[in-house]
Amino acid sequence: MKFDVKNIREDFPILKKQINGKQLIYFDNAATSQTPTCVINSISDYYNNYNSNIHRGVHSLSEEATEAYEKARGKIQIHFNAKHKEEIIFTSGTTHSINIVSNGFLNLIGEGDEIIVSGLEHHSNIVPWQMMCKKTNSKLKVIPLDKNGELDLKEFKNLVSKKTKLVFLNHVSNALGIINPIEEIIQISHSYNALVLIDGAQSAAHFKIDLQKLNVDFFTASAHKLCGPTGVGFLYGKKELLEKIEPFMGGGEMISDVTFEKTTYAEIPHKFEAGTPNISGVIAFGVALDYMNSLGFENIRQYEDKLLKYATEKLKEIDGLIIYGDVKNKTSVISFNISGTHSYDIGSILDKYGVAVRTGQHCAQPIMDHFDIPGTVRVSLSFINTFEEIDILQEAIIKAKSMLS
Amino acid sequence: MTIENLQENLIEDFSFFDDWTQKYEYMIELSKTLDKMDDSLKNDENLIKGCQSKVWLNADFKDGKINFIADSEAIITKGIIAILLMVFNNKTPDEIIKSDVSFIEKIGLKEHLSPNRANGLYSMIKQIKFYAIAYNKK
């Protein structure tokens, strides 16, 4: 099937926008993806037709909202192939999900235990574990990067031991786009009885993930990187693990019995969904997944791989352009600098040409330190981008470079 | 010249530019006019933290006036630093405290000052004002 990007772009009203008098070219998809009309409409449809609090009313509206909310949970379960529907917990995003796990394990981890995180992490993925280790007197260990920016698996094998309780890493690095060998890491970790949490924020939009096949213990992703709204995501956990860990947020929805002496928690997933959730957001998340599935994840992957290959070639034609993390196993991201210039200058000039990129450290200071650079320009592609846009990007970078030299 | 006069001059200079490229080229030129900041002054104490590009600002108080010297890793940021120093360098704390910074908007560079850009410039203006307040008490 031919991937008809011209037609697909019609689904995204924002792509008609002009920036500084130029047609918007959106290359910041890794920060947030754009939203198709069907997702936008599902949010207004919710508020126009069945806005109501879920899981408590006996009235029809509340039932309608609850049904739609739970239907979305089912869609996510099916898409990611979780065994049970209740293994999907709605959160405000990956940061929230990670905090559920890091706090949930406070009582299960103690002195002498070790947590391993990868050196390719986003700040939001480092801080919760530092806090956890401080509270439990456990130790945080980091998988180092090799010179290309890939995780050093050999080093990982040296770090992991019987003391390792949890291993945490992203599936795809937000700063470089490198795909980590999670299958291997999960397998090795399990051989030491260590649990694994994978952050799929940057991977779930680019390829289909099968949670049962991966045999991962915890997994998280955010809706806003998958054509959905901001402020919604989910945490997947194996049923027996979610039942074991304590919720860190108390409130309504998460209890089954409350007296002033004692509270009994509700069953999963509700145990972790305290308070009124982002109902319209969750429903819209389901619609976004339907939308992406209608395009087909395999088609998306193939098209994006071609785009990435073309963009990498085009950018490499520019004199003095250095790509970081230029490895075989990567997806949709090109992180670069032009020697003698600062990423901020390049990004500011590209913006004048209507090209949206991200510049700076990408909330991943340790990676920038690894390459000994203050930051990069990050071009992050998605299936809404075209080959023509990459040509315009190349031209704009060349103009920026000549202005700055 | 007073701070106000200097600002008016800049607004006039920038009004001659037809488009952003000329404006940026001018700023890049201005960045080259900045006095060199000694590496020893580029220390943590003088660093204004911003996610996008580092800015260092040093202040000395001499004969009732504040002497600023500053630098950045990014050229466009340096150009804006040059503009700020053209206006605020060698002025008395009192003049600086009473001054208005809306001229940045009038010369069409507002986008570089938004806290969202997190480029340290927004903090740099704040820091210039803080120095003025501190030296004013002396």
DSSP letter (8 states) at residue A169: E
pLDDT digits (tens, 9 = 90+) for A324-342: 999 999 999 999 999 999 9
CB-nearest to A404 from B51, B73, B75 is: B75
Q: Out of B51, B76, B119, whose CB is closest to A361? A: B51
Q: Name the phi and psi angles at A218, rounded to 5.
A: -135, 150
* Active-site residue list of B: 51
Weakest-pLDDT range from A4-8, A42-46, A68-72, B52-56: B52-56
pLDDT tens, position by position, A112-147: 999 999 988 877 788 899 999 999 999 999 999 999
B52 and A CB contact within 8 Å = yes
Strand pairing report for A358-360 and A376-380 = antiparallel
The answer to whether the Cβ–Cβ distance between A403 and B51 falls below 8 Å is no
Residue type for B98, please?
K
Say whether residue A222 is in contact with chain B using an 8 A CB cutoff: no
The phi-psi region of residue A300 (left if phi > 0; otherwise alpha if psi is between -120 and 50; otherwise beta) is alpha
Residue of A341, A349, A374 with shortest CB distance to B54: A374
Tokens of B32: 């080259």
pLDDT, tens digit (0-9, with 9 covering 90-100), for A140-194 = 999 999 999 999 999 999 999 999 999 999 999 989 999 999 999 999 999 999 9
Domain boundaries defined on chain A: 5-30+297-404, 40-294
Our count of domains for chain B comes to: 1
* ipTM entry: 0.86
CATH number for the domain that contains residue B66: 3.90.1010.10
The share of chain B scoring above pLDDT 90, in percent, equals 60
Percent of chain A with pLDDT over 70: 99
CB of A349 closer than 8 Å to CB of A395:
no
Which amino acid, one-letter code, is at A273? E
* B76 in contact with A, Cβ within 8 Å: yes
Strand partners, A376: A360
Is there a contact between B77 and A359 if contact means CB atoms under 8 Å apart?
no
Q: Which domain holds residue B16?
A: 3-136
The CATH number given to A5-30+297-404 is 3.90.1150.10
Do the beta carbons of residue B11 and residue B107 sit within 8 Å?
yes
Identify the weakest region by mean pLDDT among A42-56, A218-232, A235-249, B115-129.
Answer: B115-129
Assign A251 to helix, strand or coil.
coil
Q: Any chain A CB within 8 A of the CB of B77?
A: yes
Considering only CB atoms, which chain B residues are within 8 Å of A360?
51-53, 118
Locate tokens 């047609």: which residue? A23
Give residue A209's pLDDT.
97
Task: State the average pLDDT over residues A248-274.
Answer: 79
> Hey, what CATH topology would domain A40-294 get?
Aspartate Aminotransferase; domain 2 (3.40.640)
pLDDT at B115: 59
Please give, one letter per residue, the 3-state secondary structure of B27-77: HHHHHCCCCCCCHHHCCHHHEECCCCCCEEEEEEEECCEEEEEEEECCHHH
CB of A376 within 8 A of CB of A337?
yes
User: How close does chain A come to B59, measured CA to CA in Å?
Assistant: 25
